[in-house]
Amino acid sequence: MFVSQLVSSSDSDFSFNRKSPYKGVVTSRQWAGPSSYKSSCGSSLSINPIMTDSDCRMLLQPLWTVLLGHSSLMHSPVFPVLFSLSVYLSCCAPFLLLDLLSSRWAPVRRYKLQPRSSVSWASVRSCLAVTLYNHVVFILPLTVMHWYLRPVHLPQEAPPLARLLAQVLVCLLLFDFQSFIWHLLHHRVPWLYCNFHKLHHTFSSTSSLTTEHSGVWETLSLGFFSAMTPFLLGCHPLTELVFFVVNISLSVEDHCGYDLPWSSHRLVPLGLYGGARHHDLHHLKSNCNYAPYFTHWDRLAGTLCTQED
């Protein structure tokens, strides 16, 4: 019975027919290779198991379209400062809540890297004052000048997801290297440390708001690295925004003062990422762990220090 229904077959084309009691239901299929599907009514459907560059771009297009709806804000000369401050304070807020809870609740305090330390309101005000001062007095005029000299261009198409993720990773690796060199020099050269970096080491016990408790030169230097790296790579504006968010959030986590079960250094295998424990030791000892994120540069330079050392 089955053989009688098989009309013809070959290596690349066959048809299969059977009677169906339902009207309008396709009862004949033709196979013409892995990239085409045909029905008896002549319609065809393309089957491509490999996701194209256009498909990857479409994954981010809805998000980018929403952001383009606020293009007037993104074209504003004050947008970089508002964006930076908003992301920074948003990343700090959960850790500030943990600081409040840790003084009253032992289950939270046991995750503190320095359990005997506490965050005072005086330190919170001091850190906020330094951050706002640097952004308003120095970063804002520079961003306005940059906006005037190089107007913002927002393309209509979003970047492919794979390219965005790859470029964000490359930006992080390059920023990590740039910061490592800058940091190492400002510790090895006493004049640079005393005049530019010492302010950041005011607190030997870190907390989220100590992330940007630094002088003008340090703030502008690291800000220059984070802005120029995606520019030199020719990144899409959406890629730049994602990199800024990731970079700020990782920097805040570095200074948060907590070793949480979901901390980044626990998610990255083989000890390739330092995280909060890595940077907390730097603030304690001041002569090790100069790279902000990854550990390979400190390994090569012989400046890596772990909790067991």
* Three-state secondary structure of 73-120: HHCCCCHHHHHHHHHHHHHHHHHHHHHHHHCCCHHHHCCECCCCCCCC
pLDDT number for residue 34 = 42
**How many whole angstroms separate alpha carbon 275 and alpha carbon 34?**
47
Closest CA to 264 of 283, 242, 249: 249
Query: Cβ neighbours of residue 202 under 8 Å, at least 6 residues apart?
Result: 210, 213
**How many whole angstroms separate alpha carbon 80 and alpha carbon 86?**
10
pLDDT number for residue 54 = 65
Task: Quickly tell me which residue has 């004052």 as its tokens.
Answer: 129
pLDDT number for residue 65 = 96
pLDDT number for residue 55 = 63
pLDDT number for residue 144 = 94
CA 131 from centre of chain: 21
Name the DSSP class of 208: G
Name the DSSP class of 202: G
- Residues (pLDDT < 50) of the chain are 1-47
pLDDT number for residue 199 = 96
pLDDT number for residue 48 = 52
CA angle 264, 269, 271 (to 5 degrees): 85
pLDDT number for residue 84 = 96
